[in-house]
Amino acid sequence: MRALLIERSLKLIKTHSISELNNILYQDGLEVGLVDEDCDFLDSIYIPSKYPLGNALPHFVPNEEICEKGLRIAERIYFSVVQILSKL
């Protein structure tokens, strides 16, 4: 998603939020196929794992189903971004 920001000469922001990146791209007319639920799911797993202080993740280890869901969403994003980049 950051590659799309760079390719479109959009302002890079410091964030780990998929939701924020998705919104920036959407405002520029690019859709990578993420719905709010996907963004919320990825943000709920990634951000707490990156910054665990004061969140629930240390008390919760994602199971196989959750991990597979995250991988499916990430794969979908990857292929969507590659497709968009090939058209730019």
Q: What is the pLDDT of residues 41-64, one digit of tens each?
A: 998 877 655 655 555 444 566 789
Question: What is d(CA 73, CA 76) in angstroms, rounded to the nearest whole number?
Answer: 5
Residue 18 near residue 11 (C-beta atoms within 8 A)? no
**How many structural domains does the chain have?**
1
* pLDDT given for residue 54 in this prediction: 54
Residue 34 near residue 73 (C-beta atoms within 8 A)? yes
- The reported pTM is 0.79
